[in-house]
Each structure stands twice: as C-alpha cells, then as structure tokens.
C-alpha cells in the first residue's frame, strides 16, 4: 500500500527525531512518527515558557505549587518530568512523599505538606499531595472515616490560607480509562526496568475502580472551588496530556511573557 506524504511531512520524517520515532518500532508507522515530531516541537516551545515562569518567580520572589493527582499509572510522574527537565533544579522541588512515619501519623494531617511548601522564588511539584486522604486512603482503608471527613471539612480552608499567603496553587487531575490503566499495568509488569513502580495499591486499583470513582467525584464536588479549581486532563494519550498540562500551568500563572531567558 502506497502512502502519499506532503513535503512538510517528509521533512519531519527526515529529521533526527523523525527518524528515531520512525525506526524505534518494529512496524513503520508514519503517522505516529509525524505526531511525535510535532509533539517534540510543541514540547520545546512550552518548556521555554516554563523557563520564563521560573525566571519570573525567581526575580519577583513568587511561590508556585503545582499538584498532580489521578489514578495509578495516569502519567503524573511522566508529565512532571517533561515540565521540569529544562528548568533550574536549584529552584525546583518534586515531592512524592512516602507513607507517613509513626510520628507523622500523630501530627495534624496537613503538617508534613506544609513543610514542603515553596519558599520565595521556588516551584514545587507534588506527585500526589494532601489529596491522598480524599481518595487513595479511604479506598484502601489507610484512614478512618472520621479522619476522611475531618480532611474534607478542612481542605478548602487550608488551600485558602495557602493562596492568601501568596502561593500560586495549580491543581491538575490526570484522567484515564479503566482499559488504559489495565494496559499500562501490563506494560509495567512486563518491563524489568519499570516493575519497581508496581505497588500493592496498584495491584488492587482495577478491582477497586468504582470505589475510586465514588471518592473522586466527592472530591471534585467539595474541592473544585472558585478560588482553587481543578483542571481535569484526559490522559489516555500521554503526549497530549503533557502538552495540555503545561498549557494549563502557563494559563494559570500570570508570569511576564517578555521576561529574559
């Protein structure tokens, strides 16, 4: 079967990235390779704007928090890596907290997250955040119903205080289908380089899919506020999700677009 390509498409495939995308799979897929080249170009432009956001934050002593939530294997970590790979690591932190220690379990729930909030000129990215208690913990019986209700009663006020202290707060939820989650879990289990990602919580995620959905809806109903809204990003296609996440961050932060890079 012959495939007709435009001159522009041929030039994309003849580039280094185009050839890598074309030859990286056993079966040639011109459309996929062209999409990948377009994605890389978009990514580079967006990363340049993220650098501007960081430079603006440093110069103006601004504090930025971007939190990513979503089901297991939704692509939160991959999105954060693409967003942060070109910016200055001295002014950036990526937070993925382990389960609370015994001491932390006796503290106010938000306390260990407060300790991770940014100083002036810093961007902090949460790969899961205090919203663990809104969905993951109650679904997996990691907290009591009383603890869950206390969190839901306090979280909006907690975020109001963060915002009033001068922090820019961006909340992103990466949404994938049950079928796509299953597919990604299978890829992880079959890849020796990724098997470490699979946790006991992940192994139960498909079985508890409906429970996650119920708590997720309750979270949105309660915490999708006017001053601190959620942005839901469809994440079945990772490249599109990363681009959309970066675009949302850029729209949410009133940075100086003419700042020097």
Could you tell me if residue 115 is inside a domain?
yes
C-alpha closest to that of 71 among 191, 225, 241: 241
Could you tell me if residue 261 is inside a domain?
no
Strand, coil or helix: 173: strand
Looking only at the bridges linking them, the beta strands covering 122-127 and 230-234 are: unpaired
Strand, coil or helix: 170: strand
**Six token digits for residue 75:** 């692509």
Could you tell me if residue 248 is inside a domain?
yes
> How is 74-123 classified by DSSP, letter by letter?
SSHHHHHHHHHTTS-GGGEEEE---S--HHHHTS-TTHHHHTTS--TTEE
Cα separation, 125 vs 116, whole angstroms: 10
Could you tell me if residue 166 is inside a domain?
yes
- Relative orientation angle of helices 16-23 and 30-60, to the nearest 10 degrees: 130
Q: What's the pLDDT at 107? A: 97
**Number of residues that this document lists for the chain:** 261
Q: What's the pLDDT at 21? A: 57
Cα separation, 8 vs 48, whole angstroms: 24
Q: What's the pLDDT at 136? A: 98
Could you tell me if residue 84 is inside a domain?
yes
Kindly tell me the sign of the dihedral angle through the C-alpha atoms of 165, 167, 170, 171. Answer: negative
Cα separation, 165 vs 237, whole angstroms: 36
What's the structural domain count of the chain?
1
How far CA 136 is from CA of 4, 56, 90, 188, 205, in Å, comes to 49, 35, 31, 20, 10
Could you tell me if residue 217 is inside a domain?
yes
Cα separation, 230 vs 179, whole angstroms: 24
Biggest CA-to-CA distance, the chain: 67
Q: What's the pLDDT at 230? A: 98
The enclosing domain of 194 has a CATH number of 3.40.50.300
Kindly tell me the sign of the dihedral angle through the C-alpha atoms of 68, 64, 85, 99. Answer: negative
Are the C-beta atoms of 140 and 39 separated by less than 8 Å? no
Cα separation, 56 vs 50, whole angstroms: 10
Domain that holds residue 91: 61-252
How far CA 255 is from CA of 50, 60, 121, 163, 226, in Å, comes to 10, 10, 12, 16, 21
- Relative orientation angle of helices 238-252 and 30-60, to the nearest 10 degrees: 20
Q: What's the pLDDT at 1? A: 43
Could you tell me if residue 36 is inside a domain?
no
Q: What's the pLDDT at 215? A: 98
Could you tell me if residue 191 is inside a domain?
yes
Digit-by-digit pLDDT tens for the chain (261 residues) are 445 667 666 565 566 555 555 555 555 566 777 788 889 999 999 999 999 999 999 999 999 999 999 999 999 999 999 999 999 999 999 999 999 999 999 999 999 999 999 999 999 999 999 999 999 999 999 999 999 999 999 999 999 999 999 999 999 999 999 999 999 999 999 999 999 999 999 999 999 999 999 999 999 999 999 999 999 999 999 999 999 999 999 999 999 999 988
């Amino acid at each position: 079967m012959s495939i007709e390509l435009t001159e522009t498409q041929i030039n994309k495939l003849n580039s280094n990235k185009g050839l890598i995308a074309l030859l990286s799979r056993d079966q040639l897929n011109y459309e996929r390779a062209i999409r990948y080249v377009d994605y890389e170009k978009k990514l580079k432009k967006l990363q340049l704007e993220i650098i501007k956001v960081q430079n603006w934050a440093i110069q103006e002593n601004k504090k930025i928090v971007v939190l990513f939530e979503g089901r297991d294997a939704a692509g939160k970590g991959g999105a954060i890596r693409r967003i942060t790979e070109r910016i200055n690591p001295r002014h950036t932190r990526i937070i993925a907290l382990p389960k609370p220690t015994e001491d932390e379990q006796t503290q106010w729930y938000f306390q260990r997250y407060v300790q991770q909030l940014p100083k002036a000129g810093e961007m902090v990215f949460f790969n899961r955040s205090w919203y663990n208690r809104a969905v993951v913990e109650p679904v997996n019986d990691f907290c009591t119903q009383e603890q869950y209700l206390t969190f839901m009663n306090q979280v909006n006020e907690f975020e109001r205080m963060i915002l009033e202290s001068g922090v820019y707060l961006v909340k992103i939820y990466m949404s994938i289908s049950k079928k796509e989650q299953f597919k990604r879990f299978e890829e992880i289990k079959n890849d020796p380089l990724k098997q470490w990602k699979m946790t006991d919580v992940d192994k139960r995620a498909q079985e508890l899919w409906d429970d996650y959905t119920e708590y997720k809806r309750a979270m949105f109903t309660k915490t999708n506020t006017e001053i601190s809204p959620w942005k839901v990003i469809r994440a079945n296609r990772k490249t599109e999700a990363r681009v959309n996440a970066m675009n949302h961050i850029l729209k949410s932060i009133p940075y100086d677009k003419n700042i020097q890079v």
